[in-house]
Chain A
């Protein structure tokens, strides 16, 4: 579903990604881990077609970036630590706007379905600026899945959430993944990543330094594996 070969991204003379290779099979939930400045967000922005690669080949859902960006975007949902929502519109108006931007038919039914999925159907008529951070993040996930994408990218979705909001977000993320979508998530919360993901890739110094699966982690835990990978 995602294929990346020899990806290089430079900002001026500084190379952030240095020949990165990365593959994700359909239905996989990959946690992309790494220290600050490792290039996780830059990598996700390239996958999302928001940034151009300097060199290398990137294919998402069978389409090449940046040449077939519109086709990729139609099959992609993105959630970051920013909600990408308009505070002076209601939850329903926000979703309707994005439904129009994705050219959806039968918008009302889809909006109701999404609001139920993220547990906000009773707040559909309330302005987003009255929502808590956790509710905004749930609605942000609703926005990202409004067009039923095949691939989901989550960039630090737990940033700024308290414990309760994080637990609610866990459930929403699990339901998103349970529908067979391919998911790539960056996070510093190793415990949550270990609970949600099926594979763990560690990005360090612009390349994937280590990769393991949920099954391979049986004899150790993710924190120990992560520390070891960064130390090597």
Chain B
């Protein structure tokens, strides 16, 4: 029984999963390519659809962005968990003597990194196509980050459940979108408020909802992820 510690730390196991996911994705680029191509296509399609009406475009700008990120995120969440399930690797993770919430945090951080990278590419394209340079301000980028954390938090939790089923591609959006409505609505409200130059008092409520949602969907999996992955 050489080289053995009793239990690796939560942080150590989380970082191991994140590094593993990033290394695997760096080689295959399957998940990232799917998310990016989908996002760009949606942005371009909306651009043509809303081309003639500048006022409407400004009004729906935040909605277009969050619709794009939500659907692209769902693609990534499905793929990220399918990689673990299809070759039995989820069992490999569950067999490790670690706090199982490390699996949630590792997968969630990986998914968040993929989503943020896609957003970092999509936002400049969006700014060019829609002539909307106001998105490059700290407040707007902060809302993007808060919304992404919340969406990925609940999405990672639900994708862990849906991946156990045969209908996982269909089931994840059916489960995810109703539960993610508060975070998506708050993100759209806060984003459009910032883009339209609204007062802080007008956007503080949706931002508080985003923060609350993020805290809840970090705390809930920490407490209950073991039960979620239990057979």
Is B134 part of the contact surface with A, judged by Cβ < 8 Å?
no
Q: Is A73's CB under 8 angstroms from B95's CB? A: yes
Q: Is B95's CB under 8 angstroms from A52's CB? A: no
Is B12 part of the contact surface with A, judged by Cβ < 8 Å?
yes
Q: Which of B2, B3, B87, B99 has the most chain A CB atoms closer than 10 A to its own CB?
A: B3
Is A59 part of the contact surface with B, judged by Cβ < 8 Å?
no
Among A100-108, A166-174, A182-190, A221-229, the one that faces the other chain is: A100-108
Contacts A73-B97, A84-B87 known; A110 to B231 CB distance under 8 Å?
no
> Least Cβ distance of A52 to chain B in Å?
6
Contacts A50-B95, A78-B95, A88-B24 known; A105 to B88 CB distance under 8 Å?
no
Is A150 part of the contact surface with B, judged by Cβ < 8 Å?
yes
Nearest chain-A residue to B30 (Cβ)? A88
Type the 1/0 row for B1-23, where 1 means its CB is closer than 8 Å to any CB of A.
11111111100110011011001
Q: Is A74's CB under 8 angstroms from B87's CB? A: no
Is B96 part of the contact surface with A, judged by Cβ < 8 Å?
yes
Type the 1/0 row for A9-49, where 1 means its CB is closer than 8 Å to any CB of B.
00000000000000000000000000000000000010011
Nearest chain-A residue to B88 (Cβ)? A82
**3 A-B pairs with the lowest CB-CB distances in the bound complex, closest first:** A103-B8, A82-B88, A84-B92
Q: Which of A50, A97, A100, A101 has the most chain B CB atoms closer than 10 A to its own CB?
A: A101
Q: Is A103's CB under 8 angstroms from B92's CB? A: no
Type the 1/0 row for B78-109, where 1 means its CB is closer than 8 Å to any CB of A.
00000100011101111111110000000000
Q: Is A86's CB under 8 angstroms from B8's CB? A: no
Nearest chain-B residue to A85 (Cβ)? B87
Is B28 part of the contact surface with A, judged by Cβ < 8 Å?
yes
Partner-B contacts on A (CB < 8 A): 45, 48-52, 70-71, 73-74, 76, 78, 80, 82-89, 93, 97-98, 100-107, 109-110, 127, 143, 147-148, 150
Q: Is A88's CB under 8 angstroms from B27's CB? A: yes
> Least Cβ distance of B96 to chain A in Å?
4
Is B199 part of the contact surface with A, judged by Cβ < 8 Å?
no
Contacts A98-B92, A102-B96 known; A87 to B5 CB distance under 8 Å?
no
Total B residues in contact with A, Cβ cutoff 8 Å: 35
Contacts A98-B96, A101-B13 known; A147 to B88 CB distance under 8 Å?
no
Q: Is B98's CB under 8 angstroms from A86's CB? A: no
Contact partners of A97 in chain B: CB under 8 A: 16, 19-20
> Least Cβ distance of B105 to chain A in Å?
13
Is B230 part of the contact surface with A, judged by Cβ < 8 Å?
yes
Q: Is B96's CB under 8 angstroms from A73's CB? A: yes
> Least Cβ distance of B190 to chain A in Å?
37
Contact partners of B88 in chain A: CB under 8 A: 80, 82-84
Query: Considering the chains assembled together, what is the distance between the CA atoms of A102 and B20 in angstroms?
Result: 14
B residues 1-58 with Cβ under 8 Å of A? Answer: 1-9, 12-13, 16-17, 19-20, 23-25, 27-28
Contact partners of A103 in chain B: CB under 8 A: 4-9, 12, 97-98
Contact partners of A84 in chain B: CB under 8 A: 87-89, 91-92
Nearest chain-A residue to B16 (Cβ)? A100
A-B CB contact pairs (8 Å), 27 listed: A70-B7, A70-B97, A70-B99, A73-B96, A74-B97, A76-B95, A78-B95, A82-B87, A84-B87, A85-B87, A85-B92, A86-B20, A88-B23, A88-B28, A89-B20, A98-B96, A100-B13, A101-B96, A102-B5, A102-B8, A102-B96, A102-B97, A103-B6, A103-B7, A103-B12, A127-B27, A143-B92
Contact partners of A93 in chain B: CB under 8 A: 20, 23
Q: Is B87's CB under 8 angstroms from A110's CB? A: no
> Least Cβ distance of A87 to chain B in Å?
7
Query: Considering the chains assembled together, what is the distance between the CA atoms of A110 and B99 in angstroms?
Result: 24
Contact partners of B8 in chain A: CB under 8 A: 100-103
> Least Cβ distance of A27 to chain B in Å?
15
Q: Is A48's CB under 8 angstroms from B95's CB? A: yes
> Least Cβ distance of B9 to chain A in Å?
8
